[in-house]
Amino acid sequence: MIDIWVNKWEEIYDRGIKLNIPELAAPSPHFDFLNAIQNILPHFYTINQDLVLKQVRQNDIMEFTKLLDLFRDAKRIQQAQQGKMLGGQSAFTTSFQGEELGDTNKPEDKPSEPEPKPQNEQKPKRLRTAPKCLCGETHWFRDCPYVIPSVRKKDWTLNPEIKAKFDSATDQQKALMKRAAQQVAERLAKLKTNQPDPQPNKTKKATFSTVSALF
């Protein structure tokens, strides 16, 4: 169940905070959780990804447990809406062109009930375009040779002026660079051990080792 899965995130986060694990400092756990639920609630992911980025710039990031509570509420609302589409009816009067759908005086004019929408129907994902990097190129940090040494070409040379821009990056940019480096390192480790993810398109069940790796 999704509630058990979210509770596991909270349990492991609380345990890590008590152990003073530095990787659990905001906003790393926020972004890791949002990436994990991206395919579960795309709309929630889009809204809160932008919200956390804004909070990072303002140096006023919400508690990670609050983000989990927001997700729980959003998931309950989605489930309630899906239940209505499968046969439930709103408490508000429903009308069509001024005529109440439940008007028994005009049975011949009663419109047919709409077909229920599939539960897994989702809005199209908003395509994210790569931003302009500090190095001047248009790509993500995971593709930047100044952040990820493994993507450097043989003829690549370091530009001191560009490196200075990375050294003076904002806290938000440094957090994103750190997260990109961790993700690339994890992918390289999987390739090295020849153990591909058996379910790449599904959200994994959060065990202590799984979520700790995310952080």
Whether the pTM exceeds 0.75: the reply is: no
Under the banding of pLDDT at 50, 70 and 90, the label for residue 159 is very high
CA-closest candidate to residue 144, choices 129, 130, 161: 130
> Residues with Cβ < 8 Å from 166, sequence gap 6 or more?
134, 135, 146, 147, 177
User: What's the confidence (pLDDT) of residue 66?
Assistant: 94
User: What's the confidence (pLDDT) of residue 194?
Assistant: 59
Residue 168, exposed/middle/buried by CB under 10 A (0-12, 13-18, 19+)? Answer: exposed
Question: What are the distances in angstroms from CA 136 to CA 110, 132, 161, 166?
Answer: 62, 6, 11, 11
**H/E element holding 95?**
strand 95-96
Q: What per-residue string of b and e applies to 6-16 under the rule 16 or more CB within 10 Å gives b?
A: bebbbebbeeb
Under the banding of pLDDT at 50, 70 and 90, the label for residue 43 is very high
